[in-house]
Amino acid sequence: MKRNRLKLGIFGFGCVGTGLYKVLEETGSVEANIKKICIKHANKPRPIDAKYFTTHKDDLLNDPEINVIVELIDDAEAAFEIVSEAMRKGKDVVSANKKMIAEHLPELLELEKKYQVSFLYEASVCASIPIIRNLEEYYDNDLLTSVSGIFNGSTNYILTQMIDDNIPYPEALKEAQNKGFAETDPTLDVEGIDPKYKLCIILFHAFGLSTKPENIFNFGISRINDFDLNFATQRNYAIKLIASCKKNGNEISGLVAPSFIENKDPLAYVKYEYNGVVLESAFSENQLMIGKGAGDKPTGSAVLSDISALTYGYRYENKKYLHVDPSLKLESTGKYRVYVRYYDDFDSFDDFLSIEEKFISPQGNYFIGIITLDKIINSKWIKDNKINVIFCNQNIE
């Protein structure tokens, strides 16, 4: 097959943009060259010739030689405007912006169809793991039942430091930031918002379900303390921030939350900045994919993979979305077993269907109970920073 020669216009030259430049320089197999890079700060020192840079987006969008726009900025709304305009001008687009994609995917697909261009975004989910392409191609005809795993390298790095290396949360967070795995404002990572965006994209490619991020429950790791870590150690558990979705008939459950998993669970061996994705299906049963989920080169390599695919004119077929059962819906009534660390005057035990275990001590209190997800979502106590919740397993019914 004849390969197309690509001229790239890149928006953003931060961690991912620099990583793309590095991997593009180190491989000679991709028929693509950088024509122009649009950045915000013209005077910032950069590792390549200044002639490549501009602060004017139209220098890229209006250049007829540039046939691929690579969007790598951190502003979701600005990214949406750039990507939309690029497609209107007949340019293929590669993006790593999971928030922009999660919030605007149906609109972007309409633009892709209308202007007959390709829109690829492998780097938006789990960096170096080719999960989207696998869901589109390998799992095209297999009956997927669930997709779950560690979708955020920053929080996995922090949790590994806390549990394996006995480093307090503030120090572990600081080290993750110093290594470029977490942002200066780590809220998107540590509160489970980043993996929620990724889960929206997974839901689309796994089951054909289009949903907004606000419809998915997320709970982060910032409340985990020594009491919780000691509990995990005593029970031979690891703690991981797990994103999961499961299909049962025409209903799909989806959430992001810290979870206890047994130390022998394959995901317990996924440590530091690595991600791990478990796929369960009717025919191929369980499969585990592991790869680096943070860092410049791992994410840059995923962007490069999409660029390489464009040289062959590749486009997601989105067959599951196009042929989705209209009755398919996201539900929040599933039952879950959860661990709750609380203080003495916790007064919402009535929210729980049953309490299986309860412990009270001067060092701290906890109970383990069964509760429906909608009760958690609508509770007042989930917003209390003195209360922590860790899921004991995935939904039990």
Task: Write b or e for each residue in 214-244: b if 16 or more Cβ atoms lie within 10 A of its Cβ, otherwise e.
Answer: eebbbbbbbbbeeebbebbeeeebbbbbbbb
* Catalytic site residue from 196, 198, 246, 375: 198
Residues 6+ apart with CB under 8 A from 185: none
Q: Among this protein's residues, is 198 annotated catalytic? A: yes
Instruction: Give the tokens for residue 196.
Output: 């929620």
Q: How far is Cα 397 from Cα 392, in angstroms, rounded to an integer?
A: 14
Q: How far is Cα 29 from Cα 192, in angstroms, rounded to an integer?
A: 37
In residues, how long is the chain? Answer: 397
| DSSP structure class, residue 44 | S
Encode 328-387 in three state secondary structure.
Answer: CEEECCCEEEEEEEECCCCCCHHHCCEEEEEEEECCEEEEEEEEEHHHHHCCCHHHCCCC
Angle between helices 296-310 and 15-26 (to 10 degrees): 60
Beta bridge partners of 252: 247, 330
Q: How far is Cα 348 from Cα 304, in angstroms, rounded to an integer?
A: 50
Q: How far is Cα 205 from Cα 199, in angstroms, rounded to an integer?
A: 10
Nearest to 329 by CA among 217, 242, 218, 215: 215
Instruction: Give the tokens for residue 173.
Output: 């967070």
Q: Which residue has the tokens 């379900």?
A: 209
CB 233 within 8 A of CB 222: no
Amino acid at 379: S
CB 218 within 8 A of CB 257: yes
Count of alpha carbons within 13 angstroms of residue 270, beta-carbon side: 29
Residues identified as active-site: 198
